[in-house]
Each structure stands twice: as C-alpha cells, then as structure tokens.
Structure 1
Amino acid sequence: MRLSRFRVRKFRNIIDTGEIDVDEAVTCLVGMNESGKTAVLSALHRLNPIDGESFDEQRDYPRWLLSRDRREGVISDASPISATFELEPEDRELLEAEVGAGVFTANEITVSRKYNTDATTWDIPRDTKRAVQNLLSGLELRKKTSDQFKDVSDLDGIEAICAQLVADETDKQHEKTSDEIATIREAIAALPGKDVWAVAVAVLKSRLPKFFYFSDYSQLDGRIDINDLAEKDEQVGSSADQTARALLRLASTTPAAMASSDYEDRKSELEAVGHELTSQVFEYWKQNDNLQVEFDVDRKIKQVNPQQHTIEKTYLDIRVKDTRHSFSNNFARRSSGFRWFFSFLAAFTEFESRKEPVVVLLDEPGLTLHARAQADFVRFINERLATAVQVLYTTHSPFMVETDRIDRVRIVEDGGPKTGATVTREALTVGEGSLFPLQAALGYDLAQHLFIGPSNLLVEGPSDYIYLDAISRALVDRGRTGLDDRWRVLPAGGASNIPAFVALMGRNLDVTVLVDSGTEGADRLQKAVDAARLERDRIIQVSEVTGRRHSDIEDLFEVEDYLSLYNEAFGTSVTAGDLGHGDRIVKRLTDLRGGSYDHYRPADVILRNPARLDGFSDATLDRFETLIKRINSSDR
C-alpha cells in the first residue's frame, strides 16, 4: 500500500488540516515556527507507529477545546488521524486470492485512529454479496443448493443458511446436501476472517506501512562499547547504539568481527569498514572532500595478578582524518553538521533493505548543516531514501525546498483558535511569512539560473519558449511582428507550477503569463487575480487565438505542420487521417500512441533546424503572430 493523502483533526493546535495530498516519493511541509508542522507529522506517526506511540487525550487534544468537548462527550468520537492508502497490484492479488475478483470496488482504503485506544478503524469499500457469489461459484454445488444463498449479503450470513439446510429432514437428498454444506463450511473456515471486512483487514494489516518519526536522530558517539552493542537489540532509531549497529551493517560487518582477538583479522576488518564508509559518506558530503573515516579498537585491561590479565572492555573508536591538515581526531570533535549527516546516513540506510512497507517522517532535518550541505542532504533523500520508502519532511529552510519540484510542497499555517493549523498546496492563499521559504528558494534559484528583466513572460515549459523564440525570429525575417526584445521568457516547468511562480513573483515583478487553455494551472490563476498578485489582462490563454475551449500551444500549428515535426522527432509516419476527433492535437496523439507525451522533442526539431519553418503554412505563422501581438501589448 502507498500513502496517498491524510487528514489531521482535533490534535494539539490543529482543528482540521483538510486533506493533505502526499507525493508518491517525497513531500515537503513548509511553514513558520510553531505553525503546526511537527503536530502534523506527530499525528501521522501515531496511525501505525513503529515504537507503539499512541494518542493521549490529556496531552494531545486542543487545550482550548478540551473542557467543552469533554462535557459534550465528543472526544471519544474524534479521529485525530485518518489516512488514505492506494492499493498496489500485489495487495489486490492477495485480496482476490481470498474472496475473488470484483469484491473490492475501489483502489483505495482509509485507516483512522481515535484517542485513548490502540485500535485502528478501517474503511474498505466492498461488494460483500459478490464475495458470497465468488465463494459459492468456486465450489461444486447443485443449483438447488446455491440458490438457497442468493439473499445472503456477506460471508458471515452463510452459516445460518447452512444450519437450516442441514436441519431440513424433508430434503430427499439430505446426504448430498450435507456433503455440500461441509464443503461450504470448509471454504469459510479457510478464510482469515468471518466477513469480507475482516478478511480484508487480516490480509492488509501486515501490509499497512509503519511510520518512523525522527525529530533529532540519535547521533553516533565517537567511542562505542562493542560488547554492549552486541548484547542489545533495540528498535530502529531508539538510541545512539542502534545508529552504531546500523553503521556496521552499512559496512557489512558485525560487532564480533570488529572485536576479533586476531590482530590481522581485526585490522583488516577496520580498514575495510573505513574505506566503505568513506566512499558512502562522501558521495553526498561535499563540504570537505579531504576527510577519511577511520576506525580503531581500544581495550580496557584488568590486571588479575602479575602473571594474568583479562580484557574488561572493547571500544570502537571512530576517527576522522583530515588529509589537508595532516591530523586526525575523534568523531565527537568534528563539526555538528558533519556528525549529524554521518549519523543520519548510517541510520537511514537501515530502510533500504527493509521488506515491510515504511513511511519515514523527518522533522526539521539538517538544521545544523550549511546551505550547500542541506542541498546534498536533499539529494540523499531523493537518490537513496525515497527509492526505498516514502518520505515526508518539514522545514523552514529555503535550501530544503526544491524549486523544480514545487508540486511536492505543502504549506502549513496556523490561523489561530478558530481555524487552527491548516495545510494547503495553494501558495496564493497563505500569508507572506508562510511563503518566505518558498520565496527565498525561488529567489536563489532564479539568481543562479535566470536573468530577470523589467518585462517577464512566464510560460509552461521549454517547448513553449522554443516555439515563441524560433517562430518570432522567422516572422521578423519575413517583415512581420515578432516578440519584443524587452521580454525575458521564463519556463515554469509545467502548468501546475505556474500559480506558485505567480504567487512568489507577481507583486514585485512585471509578469505576463501564457498558459494552455483548460489546464489546472489556468484555472488556478484566477486565485492570483483575486489575491491582487496578477492583473487579469496579463493572463493569456492559447484559446484566445484558436477560438477553442481546450488548446495547447501546439494547436497554433496547422495539423500537417505539427505532424511533420512530430514524425521527425519520433521517427513515425502519422497522418491527419490517423488521428481521432478533438480540439487538442497532443491529446489526439496520446490517444493514438499511448504513454506519456514528450512536448520537448518536436520543439527540438525546430531548435536544431530553424529552416524547417520555411515549409510551414501561412495559417500557422498567422496564429503565432496573433499570439505574439497579444503578448507584446499585455504590459502597455
């Protein structure tokens, strides 16, 4: 199962967050201090925690509502956390193996939990009558017998009919009926639950993801008692010792191997561990590549008598060698940022090999890291952690926000006692303080990659930029109107990113927005107008030129012109007659060819060979010229 969304209600400073959509890989919760980010993660963690954490009415219920709600007796009905999970193919296969196909009518289930209980509540859409039909149809029954169960609505109703049939002494084929009833009862007994709901819970309970919550993961000590480490067996994340154990697993060794009495064996193991960890850590730690991780073993000797002594303690010392300055010191004396990153890497590789489903929750990770090291840490999450588990993390650092993945960001804001903390992905609806990390992140990214001018044209993607630039030049060459030189064209990376870009740029920069018609981004831009972040006449939709409700920039081309680019880009020979009906040529091509659509490759044909425009029809050039004139006039 994969977490797809969740909702927190009546928990700490939260009344109702609203539905929080979760990215399939990484979700970033951004907000001010005390906005409720930690509360959101804490509530989600308690749904199915690895460490047994539970909700406590006295501790967790909103204090300003506690007395009133106790009097009204509503606390017992409150569900502080509910989460919806998408069933994966293996989940459905296991369910159908028990009750057959067509029983579970949706691809999602919802699990919730209440105060003062460890039990979870499962909401599983199901066709219980279909389960009865499936069970009976899989058995060798006479029609006369199976017809007796036609009104049974769930599996737990079968036994009552069985009992009636067995007790019916007027049945002339009573012996045959009894054999059939025995077969039915045997099939029912083989199920893991008494009804369809119980069967589903029995199958899915072990597949429900566990939630690991980390606010400040226990950092490694520079000196570790190996004997003590070998004896303990603790939960993941519960102590510095467990981090050390994960560290040794990362290096494919054990406490016993590190404590070997043979010097050569022990030294060989130590050097192998040091080499392995140095290569692992410094793949992501880029602040100082002159460091090497080294291990040594120290022993505390107890003198029994002048002729005899025993080893009382064996310690593993973690040391870091600085080759630039030619010295080494204990791990505990390195910078807090390096120690945190090193400990984090060791601990979280634990999840890469875990077979059970896991969702990792990180509360303000990497605060002691330099800005560039935070970027390295985000890379670690994407490349290593998120390939194995889903990750949700909170931050107020702009360097932990990926501007090319703004769709992963959810904004947490506390509206006070009346509304509590809420979570939204709509950057247009929150205050400036909540937006600041996004503004700072975008500002840094723009400063690194773009030159912002006095007149800025925001488009969906690089293909839009290529078409406008190339065709504008072709129009100018023909003595027609091209895009004014004052425009700086900024690709937003997709329609869904445009509203966020407008929210972060619109008040301070001169922005015109070009969007396809009928997209989610176009619809959401109305909120930017309502919030006075964008003038209405600065929104230009392609449909203004095509006259059709749904239009992409590709629809400015005559069909034959665009197909010539498409066929050259993809090595196909599609003709207009091959396409189905509809307004959008991209949609028609997707319906024909299937799969996702790469907008860039046809545009790249023009980028590499601008002379291709010479063969385009006047109708194509006329539409682009009309659009360009509209853009040129938008800021006057």
Structure 2
Amino acid sequence: MELISFRIFNFKSIIDSGECYLSRDLTILAGKNESGKSNVLEALECFNVDKEFSEDHIPVHKDGEPRIELTLRIGHEELPTFKVTEEIKELSKNELELTLTKDFSSNYFLDEEFLRQIGLLEIKKARYKVREDIEKKTSEINILHDENVSRQAEVKLPEVIYNNLEDSIKRFKQYTNQLNNNSHVSNVNTLTQEVNELISLLKINKNDNDDLRYATELAHYVPYFVLFKSFDDILPNEIEIDNLSNSKWIKAFEKISDIDTSLIKSGGNLQKVNHKKRLNIEFNEELQKYWKQDQSEVLIEWDSDTVLFFISEENEHFKPSMRSKGKQWYLSFYILVSAKTKEEYDNIILIDEPGLYLHAKAQKDIIKRLNDLPSQILFSTHSPYLISNDRLHRVRAVLKENNNTTISNKLHKVSDKETLTPVLTTIGLGINDGISNVDKINNIIVEGPSDYYYLNAFMKIMNENSVNIIHGGGATNMPHVGTILQGWGCDIYYLFDNDNGYKEAKKKLDKDWECTTKDMIGKIPLANAAIEDVLSKDLYHSAILETGKYDKRKKNSTIAKKTDKVLNAKLFYEKVLNGGIDIDDESKENIKKLIDILRKKF
C-alpha cells in the first residue's frame, strides 16, 4: 500500500493544507521557521488508529474540527477480507486509489467512489435516508413530549447519540417505561408508539453501518506514521538487564543487528565474549557506510546488571551523553529509523528537521541513509544540504499566509523568497561545482543559472553531449571564469543574451581581455532575445508557468523577470531529463538554430 497524497483540515495553524502529493521515496517539506512544517507531521501522526485528536489541535479562533484525508494506492490483495467483491478484484488488478478520512471523533470514512465499487454505497445512502427519518421522528416526539408530559412527571426525553446507538436504544426503552409508569403523562399510547417506531429506526441504523466498519478495519492496514523528533529520543548511556524486554532501544537493535538478549542474560562467558565481538563488528561496518565524518564506533557492552553503550573515538570510550548533540542525534536517528523500516508492517517515516545540529557534510550522510531506506519518508527542513540538486521533484513548499499553513506542490508558483532560500541555495551549490569539475575540452560559459539549465536542457533535446556548460556568475564575471579555463588549456565560448548586456560585455572583452577573440563571443540567435525566448510562447506558458491564457504581446523573458526564473529553468531541465515534455515545432527550430551555432564553434 502506498500513500499518494494527504490533505489536512483545521489542525493548529492549518485550516486547509491543500492536497500534498508525495514521492514514492523521499518527500521534503521546505519552509521557513514557524511556517507550520512541524504541524503537518504532527497531524499525520494523529491519523494512526492508536492516536486521537485533542482540543489543543483545534485552530484558535476558527470554526471546524481537525480532519485528515489520505489518498492511497492499493491492490485487492491488500484489502481487508471483510468485503472484497469480484468487481473490486477486477478493478484493482492494476492497483486502486481510495481516500480514507479520519475525523475529530476518531471515526474513519471512505470516499463514495470506492464505496460504490465495493458495493457499499447503496447501503450508506440507505443508512443516511434512515437517519433523516430518525431526525424527523425525533422532532415529532419532541413536540408530543412537550404537549403531553407535565413538569411534575420529571420524565426526561433522551437525545439520539449517533456514535453510540446501542446506548440510545437502551435509554429510549427506559423512557417508554417511565411514560407508562407515570400518572402525569397524558396520551401515553400515542407517545409510546412513536418512541417504539423511533427505536426500530435506530436498530436499522445501527445494523446498516458496513461502510463505517469497513473504513475502520481498512485504517488498520494503512502504513503507520512514525514521527521522529530531534532529541525526543536519544540513545541512553545504559539499560538495566531486567528492563531489556521493554526497551525500545533493544527492540530496535534486534531489528537491525543480531543482538541476542537471552544470551546476554544467561549465556556462558565464552558465548558472551564472542557474541559481543561479532555484534559490534557487524553493527559498525554497516554504520560506517552512512557516517563519514570520523572513525568513531558505537560499542555495546554489558555486565551482570546493565547493558552499556559507548562511543569509541581514537581508542577512547565515551558515554553517548558526553558527545556532541549532532552525533547523539545521528546515532539515535540511525538506530530508530533503520529499525522502523524493517518491521513486518509498512511504516511511513516522518522526521522533523533532521540534522539540525550537524554540519553540511554530515547532513549529506543523512540523505545517503534516507535514500537507501525502503520506506516512504517525509521530512521537514530549511537546510539546503538536505535537498538534492538533481531531485527537486521531491520538494514541497510550506507557506503560511493569513495564519493558514498551506503546502505547494509546484515550487515555481511560490513567491516567498525565504521559503525558497534552501532550494535556491541548493541550485547554486550544484551549479558552482561546474568550474571545478571540467572534464571536457569544449566549454560554453553562460551568464546566469537560468541560462545554465535551459542550455543543458536544449543540449539534451538535441542529443548533444560534447560540450560543458558553465555558469559564469554574471556577464561581468564571465571573462574571469573563461581566463581560468583557458589557462587549463580548455577551448571556451561566451554565450550572452541578445540585449544591451551583450553589447557592453563584448566591448569590455575586446578592450580588456587580450586572450579573447571575436569568434569566442556569441549571442542568442533571435532579435532582442534572452534564453527563455528560444522557446515558443505556448510552450513557455504551458510547460513552465503552467498557465492557460496569457498576453501574447509580451516576450517570455519579460514575463520571466516577474517569476523565479532560475527555479523555472531548473524544473524545465528536470522535465526534459524525465521525458515529460513535448517540444513544439517552433521551439525545436529555435533550439536547433542555437545548437548548430554552438557546434560550429568547436
């Protein structure tokens, strides 16, 4: 079973999060502090069958109770055996999508389309029709009660409690007994008859709730949300032998290592020595694949009373509490999260701000570990080092506007610069590696990061891979980059936008840089054009901005200045890499014209 998307209503800072679609591996919630990232993760944890909403979860000064919707992809073999028809088996051969909702009262509900497919929709509709009859009958009884029961009777009319109809039926039966035994009630037979008819309706309603029972049963099959918070769970220094069976840390070690608690408690001395040595070697061999910061090891020791944990550095042992917060967090994260992915049932791992106390290289170790885990993972961050430059499709932006936290699946539609800072920084980090990774003789130096991504996309479209595209750091900085490459023996070509910047840069190159010749300088082969104008207006608006109608009088490059042009360029490049974009004839012709010019330069 796979979680496709979720939507959160009326939870703390979230009035309506909007639909958030998840990647099949990692999904990243990027946003500034206090945007509500942690609230999203906390809300998802509340979906679990053993968790409940509380009054603290209800937004302040807002009507409505918390509600969470999950959209899941599932095959019929994963469905509960409660009711699986031949029709649903046929429909779900290629997997089926369904929406499961949990409300504030911890009731679970299924979407009507899924209920229709499994034959429960008509039952649900019939139940709601009976509910209307119940409400109508209740109203009639209220009127009769007021007309025929005097205050002296002290007979109180009960209310219908829909989430406990068994108790409602019991209390209405007690009510009829009170009516018949009290002299202060007139028209007893009519009132009793009406109440008995209501009891019959309640019995029907109580028995026709297959959809609720099925939804509740299905909720137990949904992957379990495991929330890992920084420093809520830190590896202890020791655990008493008598408490091993109840320790979550020992249970975690049992999942990710061959630790044998029965041997620790009662094995022979030689067995214990051999087991301890083998256990520590195997555990640390695996740990070192994902921790490259130093040569430290985690050692498990024990005596007759206590299991002890140590961190060994340069042959000296330390208690975990004596090491840095970053190392404590990473070891705890590694043990608990790794264990959760090895449980028999599916878990979705939620991590709030991983690596908060780790430096950049250590944060990259976290990403390496998360990439290798088999579970779906959702984590929040505002660190650029936890966002992979080549996998921006994983990132969802978390925004807070008008006291409402929302989630945007499309980064290019986000205008909040602080929210996008980690993403933009990541893009910059990736581009700036270019000059130190020159592995081709032929190099094209472009003005900015958007040129870098668009031109790489154009090269991919034309199956051209003989040149290296380098971000020049702006028109005025490009000669500095080019001179370094020339000193390394590289052939270079400067590509500028066809605008005033090109004219000024060309003059400066001709005047100040003797190593530059005229055939080393070029521009976009379209009049008064920037790199965005190589694409047709239709393609630019449909594939990049994802808009319908637009002002055809404005050039793409003019519109780009009012958007996040770098991020749009990066997303276009990713779409091209993934084959998810159709290039129209006008764009193909312009791209070919540009690439042909570049090919002739080398």
TM-score of Structure 1 vs Structure 2, range by shorter chain? 0.5 to 0.7
CA deviations 1:513-560 (Å, max 9, x no partner) are 75697596334388992761379xx99x9xxxxxxxx95389999xxx
| SS at 1:295 equivalent | strand
Q: 1:200-229, CA deviations, whole angstroms, 9 ceiling, x for partnerless residues?
A: 537633321221112135111122212212
Q: Determine the structure 2 residue equivalent to 1:187.
A: none
Give per-residue Cα distances to partners, 1:175-204, cap 9 Å, x unaligned. xxxxxxxxxxxxxxxxxx968746853763
Report if aligned partners of 2:123, 2:208 keep a CA contact under 8 Å in 1.
Answer: no
Instruction: Quote how far apart the aligned CAs of 1:84 are.
Output: 1.1
Which residue matches 2:236?
221
Q: Distance in 2 between matches of 1:17 and 1:280?
A: 39
Match of 2:310 in 1: 319
SS in 1 for 2:385: helix
Change (3 A) 1:94 1:448: farther
Q: CA deviation at 1:95?
A: 8.3
Q: Distance in 1 between matches of 2:593 and 2:107?
A: 63
Q: Is the 8 A contact 1:320 1:331 kept in 2?
A: yes
Q: Deviations over 1:450-469 (max 9, x none)?
A: 58742635338667248375
Shift of the 101–317 alpha-carbon distance from structure 1 to 2, 3 Å rule, reads closer
Residue 512 of structure 1 deviates from its aligned partner by 3.9
Give distance in 2, aligned partners of 1:470 and 1:129: 50
TM (normalized to structure 1)? 0.59
Matched, 1:5 2:11: no
1:63 and 2:60 aligned: yes
* Alignment correspondent of 2:286: 280
- Which residue of 1 is the match for residue 406 of structure 2? 422
Is 1:81 equivalent to 2:87 in the alignment?
Answer: no
Q: In structure 2, how many angstroms separate the alpha carbons of the residues matched to 1:438 and 1:83?
A: 27
Whether the aligned pair in 2 keeps the contact of 1:103 and 1:126 (CA below 8 Å) is: no
Q: Percent identity?
A: 21
Cα distance in 2 between the residues matched to 1:407 and 1:294? 39
Partners of 2:224 and 2:303 in 1: how far apart?
38
Q: Of the candidates 119, 122, 126, which is equivalent to residue 107 of structure 2?
A: 119
8 Å Cα contact 1:156/1:195 also seen in 2: no
Residue 351 of structure 1 and its aligned partner are, at CA, apart by: 2.4
Pick aligned residue for 1:53 from 34, 51, 54: 51
1:459 is paired with a residue whose SS is helix
Q: CA 1:293 to 1:92, structure 2 compared with 1: closer, same or farther past 3 Å?
A: closer
SS at match of 1:207: coil
Instruction: Work out the CA distance in 1 between the residues paired with 2:333 and 2:117.
Output: 50
Alpha-carbon contact 2:382-2:422 (below 8 Å) kept: yes
- Find out whether 1:435 has 2:420 as its counterpart: yes
User: Does residue 1:485 correspond to 2:452, yes or no?
Assistant: no
Please report how far the alpha carbon of residue 368 of structure 1 lies from its aligned counterpart in structure 2 after TM superposition. Answer: 1.5
Deviation at 1:391, TM superposition (A): 0.8
1:375 maps to: 364
Which AA in structure 1 matches 2:307? L
1:459/1:85 CA distance change after superposition, 3 Å: same
**Structure 2 match to 1:524:** 546
Q: Which runs of 5+ in 1 are unaligned?
A: 70-74, 133-151, 158-192, 233-240, 300-313, 474-483, 490-509, 542-549, 558-621
CA distance in 1, matches of 2:266, 2:5: 49
Q: Find the aligned partners of 1:448 and 1:470 in 2 and give their Cα distance.
A: 18
Distance 1:128 1:444 in 2: 51
Contact 2:459–2:465 (8 Å) recurs in 1? no
Equivalent-residue separation in structure 2 for 1:376 and 1:120 (angstroms):
39
Q: Once the two structures are superposed, what CA deviation does each residue of 1:400-454 show, in whole Å capped at 9, x if it has no partner?
A: 111211011011111133xx11111333323111111112222222222358742
Confirm or deny: 8 A CA contact 1:36 1:421 kept in the other structure. Answer: yes
TM superposition shift of 1:298:
3.1
Letter in 2 for 1:63: V
CA distance in 1, matches of 2:405, 2:591: 46
Find out whether 1:345 has 2:334 as its counterpart.
yes
State the Cα distance separating 1:242 from its structure 2 match.
0.9
Partners of 1:261 and 1:56 in 2: CA distance: 47
2: CA distance, partners of 1:249 / 1:440: 37
CA drift of 1:35 comes to: 0.4
Root mean square deviation of aligned Cα = 4.2
SS at match of 2:266: coil
Q: CA deviation at 1:396?
A: 0.9
Q: Which amino acid aligns with 1:441?
A: T
Per-residue CA distance 1:116-143 (angstroms, 9 max, x = gap):
x1222221414759859xxxxxxxxxxx
Partner of 2:390: 404
Residue in 2 that maps onto 1:297: 302
- 1:341–1:366 contact (8 Å) kept in structure 2: yes
Q: Is the 8 A contact 2:58 2:66 kept in 1?
A: no
The 2-side partners of 1:531 and 1:53 are apart by: 47
Kept after mapping to 1: 8 A contact 2:124/2:208: yes
Corresponding pairs, count: 431
Task: Specify the alignment match of 1:552 in structure 2.
Answer: 583
Alpha-carbon distance in structure 2 between the residues aligned to 1:340 and 1:437: 22
**Structure 2: runs of 5 or more not aligned:** 127-206, 437-444, 469-491, 498-529, 551-555, 573-580
Q: How does 1:563-602 map to 2 (within 5 A)?
A: none
TM-score between the two structures when normalised by the length of structure 2:
0.62
The residue aligned with 1:454 is 447
CA distance in 2: counterparts of 1:470 and 1:400, whole angstroms = 29
CA distance in 2, matches of 1:130, 1:223: 52
Structure 2 SS opposite 1:204:
helix
Match of 2:61, SS state, is helix
